[in-house]
Structure 1
């Protein structure tokens, strides 16, 4: 996975305006189906601090790589002066989220009930323009998670991620700190038991 280090609190507030276009890649039987619109839940043994117990919404997945945002990592930083026109629309909790370690100075915005994303009911918003008539809750992420060609596929084979169906309410969870366990609990079979995995198995 691409990594440029975790953003600092100062960096998180210096969000630039950027839009990411997503594409729906047709599924074919010659390669892995596109994972755009699904969740990647970090397996308990994924210890990379950038992704430890993270839940990533995949926005784009093609043969050129994948792009997503971590949806369960709120900061303590308000939106600040960079995007004041969007502040009133922030979903609870009203803070910037860490979207991933890549380009932490750039901002990605997701809104409920807006077209333009691979997840039904959630859309990517253009943060460079005023909200206009948009009244739906918005989540703003500093940075994103990125994978080059074949990287995500390799990590899936290694067992670093659990693929799960996404629900719109996952993106706008009021208590994102419990999302890792919540998503695992609703998975079928033994996967649901991973939600009980202790943070430090040595203390068990």
Structure 2
């Protein structure tokens, strides 16, 4: 004979602030986050998960047998983990010791290079102010001594050219344009 009683209702989760959660509830929340997000992240130290929860202190949702986070809070934890240097380095396939400190590429804006090319095509086109603006910006990008961290010992420009050659080439183009306009050169 079939039972006429209805199945027990699912337990209703209760919201608990992170600050009021017990150590056991926090540990269970950490397990939940690791289970939900582990596939999205490279292997990270175990403390990273707990550190993210401690930093964000999200509200927890607890039943008698499970502690978790709502979707919004879980997304916040994922965003927090995404921004951690350890995760960024692990995703990039290198550790912090595989970064190189050196001169950064100049990455001169395309608009400046196009304007310079137009002036090279007709050196007398544009007024003195336009020429000074374009040549000045190009020189500043080529002469800038910007240093920082990169993934390779000799970072390249956006188009793949050697950074030092690109700088020398850009300065040579501006010097040639100076000569074509009849301006004094520094050399």
Whether TM exceeds 0.5 here: the answer is: no
TM-score (normalised: structure 1) = 0.19
Q: Which has the larger radius of gyration?
A: 2
**Structure whose residues are more often strand by fraction:** 1
TM-score (normalised: structure 2) = 0.20
- Higher relative CO (CA 8 A, sep ≥ 6), structure 1 or 2? 1
